[in-house]
């Protein structure tokens, strides 16, 4: 098959490319230039492109760099900034997957005549004989990235392949070492690719958003403090929120940017029994869950899965947890897994 | 013009292109190579050759590939080091100082001099002793928070003297978190293992044509994390540090030359040193008043022999020797081609009377015993014939 491999310059996508070459496919590597500014996250810098290119050279495959900075800015960076202005907590890596990697890039892959688009994600796509495509967790539970891929549907899954999905991280590195790939020992990139480690989120947003101070109140509305930038506060946040009179830590329960108010409470007060996923953001791998169906919810990239039941209200899908969970900030993705087959992703949505 | 065979003893100026290097370059040149910054197959092919050469150079220098910047040669590398360190990041345009040993190559010296024309840059030359070794106490006293760059060459091009680079690095690090240490390894690269000898330096320059490679290509190794303002602006090649279409064939030549030099380093150093010592012994014994400029016991590159011959004008000596097919040099030439007084010898305190009669022989990997025999036979009578004073 003709396969286009998205190569970030990291070891996962390097080995993904290598495996495809070993399997005899006609492989071409492409690195996306997404962010034109400074990057030291281990993804997207010129050094990372060089690493990806060198691995492609070592594997004997063509390598291209696709400049998608405009799309990235429009679909990932601008919404990231805007979400903060509204007191929401976006996940830019998910939006990048949704709009860039598995939309724009997938489209380009089709137009250039590739049969598949491959990435180095730790996830698996399977298919029972002529059945629907399934998206599953990667073999390495600690590294599983199905959460950030949970927006994919049949159309995408039919055209993507995740070559390292069956491998553990240490297998991946061992393979890279065996092949003498330059990226074998490169540390994984951890953070958002367009936010430098020194400036951080605050530094990044400081020249794009106005920060407003806000008062911090408890559940009864009594003031308990202030913050300098309401736009930087996240629901569920503990840092900087102080303690209640009984000595227990305060957590952010709600953020109201227009009212310049942050409401805090104890862990028990902050925890939620349900979260609503906005209707327009719902995606399903195959079929939507029936109302009243059981499922397993994961509310962060490596968060502990929680059993739940799904329902509906005017705003969208209601995910009712069996037991109270840490708060889910508006803008965060909730991925839903099959209750009978917990590795299989059923769908996802974004918390209202 | 006499028709006698050439005895080439000027490897310090340039070295013959090695056949293996010529072959590797011819093979690269024969391929359909595009511009390495392009997306089609010929471009990818060119890029691959360039990156393979880069990997090779990095391995030879004990650096990471991302730390290797290809340049047009040692002079460009030196300019990039000096101006690049000065212009980088938060230092510009606040005041900064440059420190360099008093015996640096003109590529470094003149870069420092030009940079110091700016009101915000000061330049101090660090004195050397009678052997040409940099004064570490003076260095310690001079490094401070404003020091942008300390330049001390690994081996001197005129005398071959090896500087204590490790001690220089140590001294600088003790006194400054931000000063960048640059070493001109252009002469040293053919004989020393830079991975060891230049390990402590932040910036290392080398040039292909001093080690059997082609003229027109060199390297500046830039330690990861060291900020460098580019001198050449343009397409952003070499990770924004040096724009311009890379000389892929040249890079292949350089990498090949460096690889070959590394493989035979120990054997060549021994052989060349033995030839040099025989030449030295023979000339000192047979030329009255001749002395080695570098005192005994001071470490030098194995191929360098620098002599002071009182009563002889070096310009005349070089011309006369050339007439007999002996190729040597007398120190640095200036833009017009005329010989200039050597700042290196002056810094070492060599009296003018002796400096005027100085001559440099540099042996290399292809110097033979027959070359030494010839030189021993020819040089003393030529010197005698030119002697002004008895």
What would the pLDDT profile of B240-258 be if each residue is shown by its tens digit? 999 999 999 999 999 999 9
Kindly give the interhelix angle for B41-61 and B248-286, rounded to the nearest 10 degrees: 30
Average pLDDT of the residues in A254-276: 92
Query: Confidence class of residue B90 from pLDDT cuts 50, 70 and 90?
Result: low
d(CA B333, CA B74): 16
Of A170, A173, A169, residue with least CA distance to A181: A173
- Domain co-membership, B89 together with B217: yes
- Domain co-membership, B11 together with B36: no
Domains of chain A: 2-120+163-178 (3.40.50.620), 211-269 (2.30.30.280), 272-350 (2.40.30.10)
Closest CA of chain A from B166, distance in Å: 29
pLDDT of B147 higher than 90: yes
Q: What percent of chain A has pLDDT over 70?
A: 98
Average pLDDT of the residues in B165-182: 96
Residue B278 sits in which domain range? 7-16+265-386
Please identify among residues 170-189 of chain A the ones whose CB lies closer than 8 Å to any CB of chain B: 182
pLDDT of A41 higher than 80: no
Average pLDDT of the residues in B200-211: 97
**Which has the minimum average pLDDT: A35-44, A121-130, A158-167?**
A35-44
Q: What percent of chain B has pLDDT over 90?
A: 87
Cβ neighbours for B26, distance < 8 A, ≥ 6 positions apart: none
Looking at per-residue pLDDT, the higher value among A43 and B346 belongs to B346
CA A246 to chain centroid: 37
- Domain co-membership, B46 together with B79: yes
Supply angle C-alpha B189, B192, B194, rounded to 5: 70
d(CA B40, CA B53): 20
pLDDT of B296 higher than 60: yes
Q: How confident is the model over A301-314, as pLDDT tens digits?
A: 988 999 999 999 99
Cβ neighbours for B377, distance < 8 A, ≥ 6 positions apart: none
In this prediction the pTM is 0.86
Cβ neighbours for B34, distance < 8 A, ≥ 6 positions apart: B40, B41, B42, B43, B44, B45, B46
Q: Which residues of B touch A53 (CB under 8 A)?
A: 47, 51
Give me the number of domains chain B comprises.
Answer: 2
Query: Confidence class of residue B2 from pLDDT cuts 50, 70 and 90?
Result: very low
Q: What percent of chain B has pLDDT over 70?
A: 95
B2 domain residue, yes or no: no
CA A32 to chain centroid: 17
Of A31, A47, A90, A35, residue with least CA distance to B224: A47
Q: What is the biggest distance separating any 2 CA atoms in chain A, rounded to whole angstroms?
A: 67
- Domain co-membership, B273 together with B253: no
Cross-chain residue pair A50–B47, CB shorter than 8 Å: no
Of B236, B259, B282, the position where a domain reaches its end is B259
| 3-state secondary structure at position A352 | coil
Q: What is the CATH number of the domain that holds B61?
A: 3.40.640.10
- Domain co-membership, B191 together with B329: no
- Domain co-membership, B246 together with B356: no
Burial of A239 per CB tally in 10 Å (0-12, 13-18, 19+): exposed
- Domain co-membership, B41 together with B162: yes
d(CA A282, CA A352): 11
- Domain co-membership, B125 together with B199: yes
d(CA B58, CA B68): 6
Q: Say whether residue A250 is in contact with chain B using an 8 A CB cutoff.
A: no
Average pLDDT of the residues in B140-152: 95
Of B216, B240, B259, the position where a domain reaches its end is B259
**Which has the minimum average pLDDT: A38-52, A264-278, A336-350?**
A38-52
Confidence (pLDDT) at A190: 73
Beta strands in chain A (DSSP E): 2-6, 26-33, 62-67, 116-118, 123-127, 133-137, 160-161, 214-217, 223-227, 251-256, 261-265, 272-278, 283-284, 294-298, 306-312, 316-325, 333-337, 345-350
Q: How confident is the model over B275-290, as pLDDT tens digits?
A: 999 999 999 999 999 9
pLDDT of B335 higher than 60: no
Residues A301 and A92 sit within 8 Å (Cβ to Cβ):
no
Confidence (pLDDT) at A129: 87
Q: What is the CATH number of the domain that holds B343?
A: 3.90.1150.10
d(CA B197, CA B183): 10
Instruction: Tell me the residues of B at the A interface, defined by beta carbons under 8 Å apart.
Output: 39, 41, 44, 47-48, 51-52, 55, 65-66, 236, 239-240
pLDDT of B92 higher than 70: no
Looking at per-residue pLDDT, the higher value among B23 and B296 belongs to B23
Cross-chain residue pair A54–B55, CB shorter than 8 Å: yes
| Cβ neighbours, 10 Å, residue A254 | 19
Query: Confidence class of residue A42 from pLDDT cuts 50, 70 and 90?
Result: low
Average pLDDT of the residues in A324-346: 96
Confidence (pLDDT) at A35: 86
Residues B46 and B36 sit within 8 Å (Cβ to Cβ):
yes
Confidence (pLDDT) at B332: 66
B280 domain residue, yes or no: yes
pLDDT of B93 higher than 70: no
Query: Confidence class of residue B1 from pLDDT cuts 50, 70 and 90?
Result: very low
Cross-chain residue pair A53–B47, CB shorter than 8 Å: yes
- Domain co-membership, B12 together with B30: no
Closest CA of chain B from A57, distance in Å: 6
In this structure, chain B runs to a length of 390
Average pLDDT of the residues in A17-40: 91
ipTM above 0.90, yes or no: no
Residues B179 and B29 sit within 8 Å (Cβ to Cβ):
no
- Domain co-membership, B52 together with B41: yes
For A209-214, which contacts have Cβ atoms below 8 Å and span 24 or more sequence positions? A209/A81, A209/A84, A209/A85, A212/A257, A212/A260, A213/A260, A214/A257, A214/A260, A214/A261, A214/A262
d(CA A74, CA A107): 17
Confidence (pLDDT) at A13: 96
Q: What percent of chain A has pLDDT over 90?
A: 80
pLDDT of A200 higher than 90: no
Confidence (pLDDT) at B325: 94
Of A292, A307, A293, A235, residue with least CA distance to A265: A235
Confidence (pLDDT) at A89: 93
**Which residues partner with A160 through β-bridges?**
A117
Q: Which residues of B touch A64 (CB under 8 A)?
A: 39
Q: What's the start-to-end Cα distance of chain B, in Å?
A: 29
Of B259, B289, B304, the position where a domain reaches its end is B259
- Domain co-membership, B289 together with B254: no
- Domain co-membership, B230 together with B370: no
d(CA B306, CA B293): 6
Confidence (pLDDT) at B244: 96
Closest CA of chain A from B229, distance in Å: 16
CA distance readout (Å), A245 to A215, A248, A250, A261, A266 = 18, 7, 10, 20, 10
Query: Does residue A133 have a cis peptide bond before it, meaning omega lies within 30 degrees of 0?
Result: no
Q: What is the mean pLDDT of chain A?
A: 93
Q: How confident is the model over B368-388, as pLDDT tens digits?
A: 999 999 999 999 999 999 886
Q: How confident is the model over A283-297, as pLDDT tens digits?
A: 999 999 999 999 999
Looking at per-residue pLDDT, the higher value among B315 and A63 belongs to A63
Is the CA virtual torsion A76, A77, A78, A79 positive or negative? positive
pLDDT of A1 higher than 80: yes
Q: What's the start-to-end Cα distance of chain A, in Å?
A: 41
Of A215, A209, A220, A187, residue with least CA distance to A42: A187
């Amino acid at each position: 098959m003709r396969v286009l491999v998205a190569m970030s310059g990291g070891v996962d996508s390097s080995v993904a490319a290598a495996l495809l070459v070993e399997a005899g496919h006609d492989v071409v590597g492409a690195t996306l230039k997404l962010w034109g500014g400074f990057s030291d996250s281990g993804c997207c810098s010129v050094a990372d492109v060089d690493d990806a290119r060198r691995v492609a050279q070592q594997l004997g495959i063509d390598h291209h760099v696709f400049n998608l900075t405009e799309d990235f800015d429009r679909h990932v960076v601008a919404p990231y900034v805007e979400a903060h202005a509204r007191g929401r907590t976006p996940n830019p890596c998910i939006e990048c997957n949704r709009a860039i990697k598995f939309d724009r890039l997938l489209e380009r892959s089709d137009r250039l005549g590739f049969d598949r688009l491959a990435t180095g994600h730790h996830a698996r796509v399977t298919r029972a004989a002529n059945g629907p495509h399934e998206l599953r967790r990667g073999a390495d539970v600690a590294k599983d990235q199905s959460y950030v891929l949970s927006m994919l549907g049949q159309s995408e899954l039919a055209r993507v392949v995740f070559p390292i999905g069956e491998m553990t991280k240490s297998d991946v590195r061992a393979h890279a070492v065996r092949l003498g790939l330059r990226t074998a020992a490169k540390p994984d990139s951890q953070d958002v690719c367009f936010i430098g480690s020194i400036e951080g989120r605050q530094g990044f947003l400081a020249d794009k958003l106005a920060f407003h101070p806000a008062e911090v109140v408890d559940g009864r509305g009594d003031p308990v403090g202030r913050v300098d930038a309401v736009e930087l506060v996240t629901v569920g946040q503990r840092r900087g929120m102080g303690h209640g009179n009984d000595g227990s830590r305060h957590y952010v329960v709600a953020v109201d940017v227009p009212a310049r108010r942050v409401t805090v409470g104890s862990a028990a007060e902050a925890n939620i029994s349900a979260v609503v996923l906005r209707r327009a953001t719902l995606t399903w791998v195959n079929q939507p869950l029936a109302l009243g169906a059981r499922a397993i919810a994961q509310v962060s990239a490596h968060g502990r899965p929680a059993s739940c039941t799904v329902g509906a209200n005017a705003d969208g899908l209601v995910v009712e947890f069996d037991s109270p969970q840490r708060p889910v900030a508006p803008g965060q993705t909730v991925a839903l897994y099959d209750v009978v087959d917990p590795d299989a992703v059923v769908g996802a949505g974004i918390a209202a | 013009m006499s028709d006698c065979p050439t005895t080439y003893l000027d490897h310090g100026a340039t070295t013959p292109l090695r056949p293996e290097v010529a072959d590797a370059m011819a093979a690269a040149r024969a391929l359909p190579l595009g511009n390495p910054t392009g997306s089609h197959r010929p471009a990818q092919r060119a890029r691959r050759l360039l990156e393979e050469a880069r990997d090779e150079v990095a391995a030879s220098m004990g650096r990471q590939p991302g730390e290797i910047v290809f340049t047009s040669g040692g002079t460009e590398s030196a300019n990039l080091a000096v101006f690049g360190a000065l212009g980088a990041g938060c230092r510009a345009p606040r005041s900064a100082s440059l420190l360099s040993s008093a015996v640096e190559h003109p590529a470094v010296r003149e870069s420092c001099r030009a940079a110091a024309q700016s009101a915000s840059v000061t330049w101090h030359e660090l004195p050397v002793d009678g052997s040409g070794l940099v004064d570490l106490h003076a260095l310690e006293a001079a490094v401070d928070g404003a020091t942008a760059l300390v330049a001390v060459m690994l081996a001197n091009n005129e005398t071959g003297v090896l500087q204590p680079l490790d001690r220089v690095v140590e001294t600088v690090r003790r006194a400054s978190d931000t000063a960048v240490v640059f070493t001109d390894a252009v002469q040293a690269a053919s004989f020393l293992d830079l991975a060891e000898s230049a390990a402590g330096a932040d910036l290392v320059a080398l040039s292909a044509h001093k080690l059997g490679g082609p003229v027109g290509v060199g390297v500046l190794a830039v330690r990861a994390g060291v900020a460098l303002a580019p001198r050449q602006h343009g397409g952003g090649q070499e990770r924004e540090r040096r724009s311009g279409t890379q000389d892929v064939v040249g890079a292949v030549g350089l990498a090949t030359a460096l690889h070959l030099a590394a493989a035979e380093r120990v054997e060549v150093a021994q052989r060349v040193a033995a030839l040099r010592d025989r030449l030295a012994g023979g000339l000192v014994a047979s030329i009255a008043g001749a002395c080695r400029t570098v005192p005994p016991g001071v470490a030098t590159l194995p191929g360098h022999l620098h002599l002071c011959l009182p009563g002889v004008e070096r310009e005349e000596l070089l011309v006369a020797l050339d007439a007999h097919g002996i190729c040597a040099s007398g120190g640095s030439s200036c833009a017009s081609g005329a010989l200039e007084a050597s700042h290196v010898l002056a810094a070492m305190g060599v009296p003018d009377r002796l400096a005027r009669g100085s001559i440099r022989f540099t042996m290399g990997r292809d110097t033979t015993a027959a070359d030494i025999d010839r030189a021993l036979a020819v040089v003393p009578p030529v010197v005698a014939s030119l002697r002004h004073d008895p």
